Structure 1
Amino acid sequence: MISADAIRGYVDLMLLALLRQAPSYAYELAQQISAVTGADYTIKQTTLYSAVKRLEGLGFVTSFPGASDSGKPRTYYQITETGQTHLDQKIVEWHDTKAVVDRFVEGISS
C-alpha cells in the first residue's frame, strides 16, 4: 500500500490524466483510481474533493451538472485546455523526477 504522503504531490496528475479520457464524477474517479492502482492506493474522499475543487479553482477543470443512471444529480468534472497543458507539463516533471529518484534507488555509480 502506498502512503498518502508518498503520492500527495501526484494526485492532481492522476485526476487530470483520468479526466483526459472522459468527464467523470468524484465517486467514479475514486473507483478508477482504485482500479488502476490495483488497490495499492485508495484515495480518501476528502482528498479527492479538495483536489477537484483546487483544480477547478485553478481553471484546470470545469464542472457541470449531470445525473446518474438512477436520476440522482451528480457533479461531473472535465479537463480544460489549460488543464491539458498543465497535465503535459506535470507528466514531463514526473519523468524527470522519477529519473532522478531512480539514480538513488538503483545505486549511485561513480
Structure 2
Amino acid sequence: MESLHNSDLVRGNIDAFILRVLLDADNYGYQIIKELGIRSGGRFELKEPTLYSSLRRLEQQGLIRSYWGQETQGGRRKYYTLTPDGRERFKVKWQEWQAARAIIDVLIGDGKELASGDGQK
C-alpha cells in the first residue's frame, strides 16, 4: 500500500500546502517542513529538495518572495512571505480543492451522497 505522503493527490498539492503555511506567517524552509509535519500529525514529510524546488517555482511565479532575516545562533535565515498574488492563488486552490473533494466524495463514497440529490451528507 502506498503511503499518504507518496500519493499523487498529495504530491500535486505541495505548492498549496506551502502557500497555506505562509498564509499564517512568514517562515523559513526548515520551519515550513516542520509545520507541515505537525499539521499532518506526522503523516506527511516534505523532503528538502522538494521544498526548495517548490519555493523557487513559487517565487518565480511571483506568488511568494524571500528576504533575509536577522542573524541567529545558526546564521541568517531566508524567510518566505506570500505576495498578494500568492494569497489569491491560495484562495483559488482552496476553492478547487473543495470542488474536487465534493466530486471525489460522490464518486468513491458509499452512494448515500446521491440520495439527497444535492451531494450533501
Do both share a fold (TM > 0.5)? yes
Gaps of 5+ in 1: none
Are positions 1:95 and 2:109 aligned together? no
Gaps of 5+ in 2: 116-121
**Matched ranges for 1:1-110 at <5 A:** 1-4=3-6, 5-67=8-70, 69-70=72-73, 72-108=75-111, 109=114
Q: Distance in 2 between matches of 1:97 and 1:79?
A: 24
Q: Distance in 2 between matches of 1:81 and 1:10?
A: 20
Q: In structure 2, what residue type is equivalent to 1:66?
A: G
1:9-52: per-residue Cα shift (whole Å, max 9, x none)? 11111111110111100000000000000111101111111111
CA contact (8 A) 2:16 2:93 kept: yes
Percent of paired sites with the same residue: 29
Q: Secondary structure at the match of 1:3?
A: helix
CA contact (8 A) 2:26 2:80 kept: yes
Q: Secondary structure at the match of 2:13?
A: helix
Aligned residues: 110
CA contact (8 A) 2:23 2:82 kept: yes
Q: Secondary structure at the match of 1:73?
A: strand
1:35-72: per-residue Cα shift (whole Å, max 9, x none)? 00011110111111111110000000000011453151
- Of 96-105 and 3-12, more deviation after overlay is shown by 3-12
Whichever of the two has the greater Rg, that structure is: 2
Task: State the superposition RMSD in angstroms.
Answer: 1.5
Q: Distance in 2 between matches of 1:29 and 1:65?
A: 16
TM-score, length-normalised on structure 2? 0.84
